[in-house]
Structure 1
Amino acid sequence: MSNLAYDVDVDLGRPEGQARMADARPVPRITIQAFCDTPEVAGAIEMAANDRRMGRAHVKVHTGGISAAVEFYRGAPTPNLVVIESRMPPERLIAELDTLAEVCDAGTRVMIIGHSNDVTLYRELLKRGISEYLVAPVDVMTVISSISNIYRESSAEKLGQAYAFVGSKGGVGASTVAHNVAWTMARVFGSDVILADLDLAFGTAGLDFNLDPTQGIAEAVFDRDRLDEVLLDRLLAKCEDHLSLLAAPATLDRSYDFDEGAFEPMLEIVQANVPSVVLDVPHVWTSWAKRTLISADEVVIVAAPDLANLRNTKALIDLLRQARPNDAPPKLVLNQVGVPKRPEIKPDDFAAALQLEPIASIPFDPLLFGTAANNGQMIAEASAKTTVSDIFSDVAQIITGRKDVKRSRKGAMSLAPLLEKLRAKQKPKAKARRTA
């Protein structure tokens, strides 16, 4: 099978989908045709085809196994990848693969899903240039990660993770959380981060970092056909040694009605150049906003503890769980907790209603946040010793997988010490007024 590309990443076992979830990267724009012997494998491939990571690939599933594939390709060109499921004994499978090689176009890759965990068979497949051999049954994440690994180039390690932050309601501080977490990721981890402000009309990232760039994300979106790494580099504004900003123009001289895939070319180039991309998604519901959330590696929902936020958060979580069945649920951050005289839903009750524990609860502190915003600073710059700065650090570590949610939940959810400090600060003022 000399005309089959040689690129082997073989796993003779049956790795669990959850274990390979982090390794499953988006599959490039390729055509895939599968020929299956059993409905179980055909179903797994069809489910994989609907996953967000396979959104660029064109997948078609046939029945009939390797014999059907040989007949089909006698009169049709072969795609980029052929997936074959076979229950044949090793000797007959090898013979049929030799026949398949005669009808395959140069450069076509083949992945075999067999029912025999046989090292000798694997070695024979290796000699014939098979790209991947899996042992049935296979799960969705195994299929996706295997295809991804086949097309992983030497530079694939640089493919960045996209973290999308969105507010469940306008004014809950999702942008502030996103900006502070991006800054923390760059400072704490010492790796490059790009913050993309997707609110082109009213974005505040430039203000929060005390920058006024003349170009930014608008040029990346409107000139997407000529966007490349060189142009992207010119559009980035430097915030820190490891943090760059794609700023929103925040002007109303034109409307920003984008199609569903408007931001995809920009995100592909950005993710290929930095380890982490933080997306500040505005509180709008358009086709591109929905696509951005569904396509992100991690989604962080920022909500305030009231009824409207609870309703909207539940709607977002339900949608994301349905659209991303092979991903972990979105992360939840409660913000502006403890507003004086405002009726609030307790964090525990909020979590119980959603069946999702918040990874952090950020206390209401208008002086701290207002001072930082007016000075164009992040919270840690305005007050390095504040507990809120530690919370942002926890969020950064949790969403990147560097800290376990369960271990950090107790510290993140405990507001008692903060509220006690606020009460202590207010008591002397009240006493002074009574004396006067």
Structure 2
Amino acid sequence: MRAQSGHDPFDLQFEADDDFGPSSDADWRPAGPAPSERREPVEDYSPAPRRRAEAFDDLDAPRPAGSVGDNPVHDMIASAEAAFGDHALPRITIHAFIERPRTGDMIEHAARDRRMERTSVTVRDGGLSAALLAYQNQPTPPLLVVECCAAAPELLAQLDQLAEVCDPGSKVVVLGAANDIALYRELMRRGVSEYLVPPLKPLQFVRSVSNLYADPSAPFLGRQIAFCGAKGGVGVSAIAHNIAYAISEGLGANAVLVDLDLPFGTAGLDFNQDPLQGVADALGEPDRLDPVLMDRMMARCGEKLSLFAAPASLDDDYNIPPEAFEEVTQKVRAAAPFVILDLPHVWTAWKRRILLSSDDLVIVATPDLASLRNTKNLVDLVRRARPNDTPPRLVLNQVGVPGRPEIAAKDFGEALGLIPALVVPFEPKLFGQAANNGQMLAELAPKAKTTEALAQLAQQISRREAPVAQKSSLLAGLLRRK
């Protein structure tokens, strides 16, 4: 919206008392029910005060292992995440003037989203009328959100008044009640940045606001998938490496595997690679890392998989600032659609930051009490810090060790409010032979049940289906026989 300067930017020969009936144009369809001539009662945007939105309560419900697309709420959130990726909002001030308390709860819930962590959000009561009074003698913020459930003529009249005090460059988002195409188009013509109607959930609000600040020239960002072990020795590296291989070779997607266990990383061994440079060199001088240098530092493990290997050396103390890890991982994300991070079993500021900023988090645990305690601490931390994201995926590894007392997978999951996405049996011969050969399970035993289960988990994480093998034609078969 722009302030008046001899000309009202809202004034396009449209009168505030004009009738807003349904439009016959089918090119645009807002979310929710079909537009109607009269405003119908609407549901509240979000739940009662200080409670999370009910739709998001389902995100904590257990998800059956090996299932893809069987939970509508998970799929809705996953689709929304995939649609606008991990683009964070810039460091801006957002003022919201709401009419209903539950709308304020929804916005406060959205403000805790990791994509809005750099914003400063203030929620006030009074709606559009209060905003008019507030900005008579003070500048408007970069983003102003106003709620007005009044009829269209009154809404437009108040927006005309707001235009007189609104600073140039300020964006205005209107939360209304009339799901009307004609009203929407008129608001857009008058300079409103976005018009939203209920039902509106926090993630939808975040997405709408993010779109206002999307930079078409910004570099591409791939999905960052962090693999974390509940304790040492649970096999997180083996799971992460096989998932990276399954995404690249099995699903045909370009991927980068980053081994961040600098002194003890095993990615180079597992893929039979010994690169001269790796991720430690990039972390030492993150400002010099460009696509050309990155390509030289990464080893090729296949047609679509690149490896950023750890030095696996004790010659250095690796006193690397947390900002370097963030800068390097952000640059790596511009290199491929999928970035798999193999995290070491240490607790540092940079690891916490990576866990909370990744698009997906996979926790690998063994069925014992120490793993259960540590996994619960991780899950609780992530749920508090990422209320709008899907919960972490749980992989129970090394299940069925002879003679070892174990917690049943069902009991382990119930204690966390999660059903394991994958239960991997104890198969020391299979995993040991693959590690000694520098191979992945899909190379050594492509038909093994564990290999197939890992492929299914890769599909869940990547949200991709395995390519269908094309059958050769009868003519091709006859030619081969000749």
- The TM-score, its normalising length taken from structure 1, stands at 0.81
1:236 corresponding residue in structure 2: 298
RMSD across aligned C-alpha pairs, in angstroms?
2.9
The aligned counterpart of 2:19 is none
Q: Which of the numbers 352, 361, 380 marks the counterpart of 1:299?
A: 361
Give deviations 1:305-333, integer Å, cap 9, x for gaps: 22222222222222222222222221111
Q: 2:31 aligned with 1:31, yes or no?
A: no
The Cα shift of 1:137 comes to 5.6
Q: Given the alignment, which residue of 253, 258, 269 partners 1:196?
A: 258
The 1-side partners of 2:235 and 2:225 are apart by 16
Once the 2 structures are TM-superposed, how far is the Cα of residue 152 of structure 1 from its aligned partner? 3.5
Residue 312 (structure 2) aligned to one of 250, 255, 264: 250
Decide which of 139, 145, 154 is 1:92's aligned counterpart: 154
Does structure 1 conserve the Cα–Cα contact (< 8 Å) formed by 2:30 and 2:181? no
Match of 1:398 among 428, 451, 460: 460
Runs of 4+ in 1 over 6 A off after TM superposition: 14-17
Q: 1:252 to 1:189 in 2, by over 3 A?
A: same
Pick one of 340, 349, 366 that aligns with 1:287.
349
Question: Which stretches in structure 1 are left out of the alignment for 5+ residues?
Answer: 404-436
- Asked whether 1:219 is paired with 2:276, we answer no
Q: 1:32 to 1:78 in 2, by over 3 A?
A: same
The yes-or-no answer on 1:349 pairing with 2:406 is: no
Distance 1:153 1:376, change over 3 A: same
Query: How far, CA to CA, are the matches of 2:236 and 2:143 in structure 1?
Result: 41
Amino acid at match of 2:330: E
Partner of residue 359 from structure 1, selected from 421, 425, 437: 421
2:72 aligned with 1:22: no
Pick from 189, 196, 209: which aligns with 1:134? 196
Equivalent residue of 1:263, what SS? helix
User: Which of 2, 13, 37 is matched with 2:32 structurally?
Assistant: 13
Q: Is the 8 A contact 1:33 1:62 kept in 2?
A: no
The answer to whether 1:275 aligns with 2:337 is yes
For residue 370 of structure 2, give the secondary structure of its aligned residue in structure 1: helix
CA offset digits 1:37-71 (Å, max 9, x no partner)? 23322222222111122223343434443455456
Structure 1 residues 35, 341: CA separation in 2 closer, same or farther (over 3 Å shift)?
Answer: closer
Change (3 A) 1:224 1:338: same
Give me the whole-angstrom Cα distance separating, in 2, the residues matched to 1:401 and 1:145.
19
Would the alpha carbon gap of residues 289 and 69 (structure 1) be closer, same or farther in structure 2, given more than 3 Å must change? Answer: same
Give the aligned partner of residue 164 of structure 1.
226
Further displaced range: 28-37 or 373-382: 28-37
Bigger mean CA offset, 193-202 vs 253-262:
253-262
Spell out, residue by residue over 1:388-434, the C-alpha distance to the aligned partner (whole angstroms, 9 max, x if none): 2112101101223358xxxxxxxxxxxxxxxxxxxxxxxxxxxxxxx
Can you list the C-alpha shifts for 1:187-230, whole angstroms capped at 9, x where unaligned? 12211111111212221112211122222222333323344444
Q: What is the rounded CA distance, in whole Å, between the counterparts of 2:366 and 2:383 in structure 1?
A: 21
Equivalent pair of 2:264/2:313 in contact (CA under 8 Å): yes
The offset of 1:87, in angstroms, is: 3.2
Task: After TM superposition, give the deviation of residue 131 of structure 1 in Å.
Answer: 2.5
Give the direction of change, closer, same or farther, for the CA distance of 1:262–1:101 in structure 2 (3 Å limit): farther
Residue 134 of structure 1 and its aligned partner are, at CA, apart by 0.7
Q: Deviations over 1:17-54 (max 9, x none)?
A: 74355324332324141231233222222221111222
**Equivalent in the alignment of 1:265:** 327
Taking the TM superposition and a 5 Å limit, the aligned residue runs for 1:379-418 are 379-402=441-464
Q: Answer 1 or 2: which has greater helix percent.
A: 1
Task: State the AA in 1 paired with 2:287.
Answer: D
After superposition, the C-alpha distances for 1:117-145 in whole angstroms (9 at most, x for unaligned) are 23221111121232221114632112112
Q: 1:102 to 1:397 in 2, by over 3 A?
A: same
Take 2:216 and 2:320, find their aligned partners in 1: how far apart are those partners?
34
Question: Are residue 122 (structure 1) and residue 184 (structure 2) matched?
Answer: yes
Shift of 1:72: 5.2
Per chain length, whose mean CA-contact separation is higher, i.e. which structure has more relative contact order (CA < 8 Å, sep 6+)?
Answer: 2
- Check whether the contact 2:29–2:181 (CA below 8 A) recurs between aligned residues: no
Distance 2:275 2:167 in 1: 50
Say if 2:89 is the partner of 1:50.
no
The answer to whether the Cα contact below 8 Å between 2:112 and 2:385 also exists between their aligned partners in 1 is no
Q: Is the 8 A contact 1:167 1:303 kept in 2?
A: yes
Q: 2:282 is paired with a residue of what secondary structure?
A: helix
Give the equivalent residue in structure 1 for 2:370.
308
The one-letter code matched in structure 2 to 1:326 is: N
Superposed CA deviations along residues 54-107 of structure 1, whole A, max 9, x for unmatched, are 223343434443455456556655544332222343223323334444554554
Whether 1:177 and 2:234 are equivalent positions in the alignment is no
- Counterpart for residue 398 of structure 2: 336
**CA 1:69 to 1:270, structure 2 compared with 1: closer, same or farther past 3 Å?**
farther
Shift of 1:343: 2.4
- For 1:55 and 1:229, locate their aligned partners in 2 and report how far apart those are by CA, in whole Å: 28
Question: 3-state SS of the aligned residue for 2:316?
Answer: coil
Offset, 1:360 = 1.6
CA distance in 1, matches of 2:77, 2:418: 23
Give the share of equivalent positions with the same residue, in percent: 50
Q: Which amino acid aligns with 1:31?
A: I
Inter-partner Cα distance in structure 2 for 1:332 and 1:361: 9
Change (3 A) 1:306 1:251: same
